[in-house]
A and B are shown apart, each in its own frame.
Chain A
């Protein structure tokens, strides 16, 4: 079974803090993704990566950056947390790229509260 783990289930930070969210997958997947999920808005893609040190912006990259130094690990960074970044953050990974049969596997999510 694919396993995607996220470093924290719940996180509370203060406005202006730098926040790191870590995601690790154990299935040697090339692709990794960061989404945020907000009520009424569904899942929105922040960034994704298709290889080590590669990254692509999703729909809402502003205020975020990412790092992929190793294939199994994809980090989401909030450079200066703001209250509008309070959300559920979901990491996902997938094996096949550029194929309509790609299946993404999700981690359990990190619920971030910025005060």
Chain B
């Protein structure tokens, strides 16, 4: 399984960009990088996913390095409501099951 490594916690000033890093050095060629977040006492919320190109949607941008060994989730203008635990997940090959392996994530605190 490709594993991910994230810092346990980060702070970000409100209105600034939040850049959340993730290392996935053992990722294989057909594995996607997914980002979810979980606000306290709620279910995880899908944010974005990508394979090798940078991706952007209404919530965030995902930058994946050329060697695919790391990625960064960018929240362009963080708000207090973005305070949550952010999970970087590498999607297992489907033949081994359809589950997502959530690690312990990064606890992002947006500071007023």
Contact = CB atoms under 8 A, between A and B. Distances in A.
Contacts of A56: 97
Interface stretch (A12-20, A61-69, A70-78, A91-99): A91-99
Interface in B1-57: 30-32, 34, 36, 41-46, 49, 51
Interface of A: 4, 31, 33, 40, 42-43, 45, 48, 50, 56, 58-59, 90-92, 94, 97-109, 111
Nearest to A97: B98
B100 A111 contact: no
A109 B43 contact: yes
Interface in B49-99: 49, 51, 91, 93-95, 97-99
Nearest to A89: B43
Interface of B: 30-32, 34, 36, 41-46, 49, 51, 91, 93-95, 97-105
Contacts of A102: 91, 94, 98
Secondary structure at the B interface, as helix, strand, loop or mixed, is loop
Nearest to B45: A106
Contact of B99 (A45, A98, A101): A45
B41 A42 contact: no
A31 B99 CA distance: 11
Given A105-B46, A106-B45, A97 B104 contact: no
Contacts of B105: 42
A106 B89 CA distance: 15
Contacts of A4: 43
